[in-house]
Structure 1
Amino acid sequence: MIVQPSFRETILTFFRRKFTFLLVFATVCLLGAAYLLTTTPLYLSNAALVLRFDQHNVPTLDRNQTPTQTLGTNERREILYSDADILRSPDLARRTIATVGLDRLYPKIASDGHTQSRQMEEALRAFAADLLVDVGLQSDVLTISFFHPDSEIAHATVQSSLDNFFAQEAVIYANPQLQFAEEEAKRAKAKLATAQAELAQFRSTNQISDLTTQIGQLLQQRTDVESRLNVAKGRVAEAEQKEAALKELLSAVPPMLTTTAQGETYRGVDEVAGQIATLKAKRDQMAASYAPGSPVFRQLDASIASLENAARRSSADARSRASTMPNLVYENIKTDLLRASAEAKGAKEPADLLSRQLADINQRLTDLNAVRTRYEDLQRAVRIQDDTYRTLAIRYEGSRVEANRNAEKISAAAVIAAPSLPEQPARPRRKLVAFGTLLAGFILACGAVIGAEAFDDRVRTPHEVAQVLRLPVLATFERDA
């Protein structure tokens, strides 16, 4: 049967078993006091690191580089935990112990007489127990804590851990391909110089400065020369036609002209011609009165015939005495013909010159088009080698900067709180231990009283009797002494 005691009965129970309560409470308090008296006080030295995740730890050499995406939360946490594991790593702990000194850090382990490897193993276990690396839940901060009975040694241990951490980080994140990147950059530079020299030699051999510009200029020159050549050919054709027309006209004009004698030399011929004309007019008048066969007509005809013979003799004599002179029209035409011939000859020379220029331009265009594929291949090779060298050079410079940064121990982690030199011990916490001892003693004492009462089956009050027997208690009496 479950009995629910009242508050008064509970108080009475504790008073009845006060010796048990005090014994348990005093025992716990004595144990707590012994712990505080015998435990070696430990000093706590703290330091804090913050990890920077910006993109400016290494300068950007390539201005055309595409910006990288910012690290996400998971990646940042992974880096934080990785650095925390580096701080907890046995290698770093071993170097820290060696730096501080095993005899200073753990003198008991150093003097226990065991082998050096076992001493180091025990020291590593003790170091791992004393070292605390805390990763911030809502920040990028690492907190390093170390407990040691000597505050100066605790401070020196934390400082040595930080120094070894930066050195270990430089080794871990060092670029092993620095020498390879340098050699690749040198080879790419040599290939670029070879390609540039080959292109320069090809340009010098084929007289090329800018192939596209030169072809454009030659096409423009060819258009201009063709236009001028057509004009020159038109002038030649016009001059030749003019020359042919003048030759044809010159062939129809006599080169010399005959002039008639002047003065008294031709007066007789003129008088005979006048007499002939008078006789012919008289004959015409007499034709109306006389018959054609009459003696008068025969006499007139004989006179006219005699005068005509005399006129012919006079004319022949006059012609034998006439002079000749050059034809001015013929001379003018001949002058024009000479001028036209000169013009035709002069027009042919520019046409021939322009024809030769056009042939040279066409030949140059043919030559340039013939070497265009080879020229473009050389230019493409130079561009490829230039891009390759530029990429490898930037990669090498980036690796060199990272190597220099690691050599100078420049890390993404920055110390925001230097190792502290504690003045008061951090462990044990005397007030907290004292309060916990009192609380534990009270709880254990109460438990001891309640346990002892639970195992005691005696009844001591009428209320207990009524609850056990389920009968009312009518009277009570005291036991005789």
Structure 2
Amino acid sequence: MEAIYTEIRIALYAIWRMRWLALAVAWAFCLIGWVMVMRVPAAYESSARIQVQVKSLFADGAENDMQRNVDRVRQSLTSTEILKRVVRTVSNGERPLTSYESLSLIGALRSGISITAQGDDLLEIKTRISLKGISEQQTAAIARNVTQKLIEIFIQENVIGSKANNAEALSFLDQELARRAKELAEVDRQRAQITQNTLGSLPGTGSLDQRMDAARNEMVNLDSNLMQARSALAAMNGQLAATPAQIPAGVNGIDTLDQRIATLEGQLSEAISRGWTEKHPDVIAIRSQLAQLRAEKARGGSRSVPMAPNPVYVSLKSMQAEREGNVAALQARKSQLETAVTTIAQRQLAAPGAQIDQARLDRDYDVLKDQYNKLLAQREAAKLRSDATGKTDGVQFRVIDQPSLPRQPAAPNRAMLLTGVLVAGIVVGAGVAFAKSQLANVYTTTQQLAKASGLPVLGSISEVITADTRVIRRKQMMWFSSAAAGLPGMFMLLMLIEFVKRIMVS
């Protein structure tokens, strides 16, 4: 800590030794900086707020259009034509502007106008102007007058200009719709001619390639279905060949005598299973009946048995006819598709250019139709907007805050700049003096001399000051104090001038 304190004392002493250089540099720096600060023209800012109430007969669309119109006019306020209109009618509070002042004002307004939205229906217009060769009172008056004129032009452009723009938009849309309608009619005629020449009497829809693809896909499906139908018909024919057309008449197609014999044999087996013997009366009766029936059957074995149509055969026959019809229908459709594929292939080989033209016309037609529909929708929206603007007050304006007359400059902050120049001048002067002392071969302490020479220093001799030297140094100190006091005095004088100028503007 002691070492740091020593270094600070050495630095302060070095600056004090070069105090006249430090003071001269500080004076030069401050004078140049203060002159530059005082020559910067003051910029005055005037602001106003406008309430924009968008009224409409419609829920969404028209209101959005009105808001876009407000945004459009807001952006156009900074155009060169609008700025010229503003400058031609603006005065500085006492007289009209000269040509030089007008040109300077236009250049300042290009970057000095800002329009910002505050909420949904509030706009703030700010005008910041900085002009050379014009007093600050006149600059403040010009800023207020420019803001007032911008408000008037804003309202005028939106109320009157929107109606003119609506009429121009309707006229333009009508012309575009008529032109697009003619182009659509011409494309329709060309498409109909190509269709008649290349696609007439051909099955399907679309271009030749699309119809060919559709026919081939259907042909593949048809071959698969035809193969299945033929397989089903072959299976039906085999089943029908194995089924007799007629069967013997009787109960369920079986002879009645055989049925009675089978029934008696079943009864005999049941009796034996019960343990009845041959001498049982029922067993004797059953055997007697069996003997009679068998003898009767043996006597009538060569006689014809009555026959009846087989119902299974009849059902299979009807199913065979149905499947034969299905096969015939599929075969006929296959013949039609083969003929169609052959015809389409011939058309593709004969007219490749027509196919290209057809695809191009289809694309052109889709594009033109989309554009026509969009233009038609825009025309209806523009017509409704024009009707609403003509029959109702589409946009209403109300000035919330009138353009203000600025009382103090918005920029630059001269008080802060003057203070900054003073502080910077003192720092620069001290820095130059310290640097100059470091370049001189002078040592402040014996430690510095020993460190620089590498030899031990035995002691030091103090300076002997005479009475005449004290008188001279006292005069020099008075001169230095006066010169040093003059620096903050000049600063206070400039601050007083700035304060007086602000009082005069207000």
**Common fold: TM-score over 0.5:** no
TM-score (norm 1): 0.41
Q: Greater CA radius of gyration, 1 or 2?
A: 1
TM-score, length of structure 2 as denominator length: 0.39
